[in-house]
Chain A
Amino acid sequence: SQQGEEDPQALSIQEGENATMNCSYKTSINNLQWYRQNSGRGLVHLILIRSNEREKHSGRLRVTLDTSKKSSSLLITASRAADTASYFCATADIQGAQKLVFGQGTRLTINP
């Protein structure tokens, strides 16, 4: 079963706008990661945030984590057409840290 729930399921914005995706999860976690997938290909790791961190930045990506609400958000600033992809959050719970549990993903479309 899926641990994470991404919201929205699909998002369409204009190039240059910011895109925000949200993820909720159920169990206590060691860390939370975001991955990107282009057109049913392999996933690419974007960023990891540990359970004791609240915010992390990497280039145009900003991730927040609220462990009290069991939720995370991914912000992509100044979006580009090449950002069109599906984005997944993945959690590693405390008991099974090597096993990642993925959400259902947000399908992001950037319109030129």
Chain B
Amino acid sequence: ETGVTQSPTHLIKTRGQQVTLRCSSQSGHNTVSWYQQALGQGPQFIFQYYREEENGRGNFPPRFSGLQFPNYSSELNVNALELDDSALYLCASSPRGTNVLTFGAGSRLTVL
């Protein structure tokens, strides 16, 4: 079975720009969660998607938005990028009913 794949692995943006990160969930997993991990910190929950709808959100502003597609893949969009958005963005998938997460390798975003 394939694991969770994320793209791109690295990207550099400038302040004010917009970014889209992509995630393919593990086969058989219908729930996708996104986390932001700043350097030296633990991952922080951004939001979760199930059945193409947001199913819980952390303390992140509305400029962080997401989508889930019928094949359970997902996108994270961040508008009006700020310097503090520089972080590793982690996508994780799980079957419904469990919170044991399978993580992708992450997308490292640098905002200049």
Interface-located stretch among A62-70, A74-82, A92-100: A92-100
Interface presence of B4 (CB below 8 A): yes
Question: Using Cβ atoms and an 8 Å threshold, which residues of chain B touch A25?
Answer: none
User: Which residues of chain B from 8 to 61 have a CB within 8 Å of any chain A CB?
Assistant: 31, 33, 35, 40-45, 48, 55-56, 58-59
For A1, the closest partner residue in chain B by CB is: B59
Of the listed residues A2, A35, A41, A100, the one surrounded by the most CB atoms of chain B closer than 10 A to its CB is A100
A2 to chain B, nearest CB (A): 6
Residue A85 lies at the interface, judged by CB distance under 8 Å to chain B:
no
Contact for A33 among B42, B48, B100, B105, CB less than 8 A: B100
| A19 interface hit (Cβ, 8 Å) | no
The reply to whether the CB of B104 lies closer than 8 angstroms to some CB of chain A is: yes
User: In the bound complex, what is the Cα–Cα distance between A2 and B42 (angstroms)?
Assistant: 8
CA distance A101 to B56 in the complex (A): 13
Task: Determine the residue in chain B with the shortest Cβ distance to A100.
Answer: B99
**Closest chain B residue to A3, Cβ basis:** B42
Q: Known A31-B99, A40-B88; judge A101-B45 contact (CB<8 A).
A: yes
Contact for B106 among A1, A30, A40, A44, CB less than 8 A: A40
B72 within 8 A of A: no
A47 and chain B: residue at smallest CB distance: B100
Determine if B41 and A104 form an interchain contact, defined as CB atoms under 8 angstroms apart: yes
List residues of A whose CB falls within 8 A of some B CB. Answer: 1-2, 4, 30-31, 33, 35, 40-45, 48, 88, 92, 96-105
Q: Which 5 A-B pairs have the closest CB atoms?
A: A102-B42, A42-B103, A43-B103, A42-B105, A92-B99
Binding site for A on B (CB under 8 A): 4, 31, 33, 35, 40-45, 48, 55-56, 58-59, 88, 90, 92, 99-106, 108
Given known contacts A98-B31, A99-B56, A100-B99, what 13 new A-B pairs fall within 8 Å (CB)? A2-B41, A42-B90, A42-B103, A42-B104, A42-B106, A44-B103, A45-B100, A45-B101, A98-B56, A99-B45, A101-B45, A102-B35, A102-B42
8 A-B residue pairings within 8 Å (CB atoms): A43-B43, A96-B56, A99-B99, A101-B45, A102-B35, A102-B43, A104-B40, A104-B42
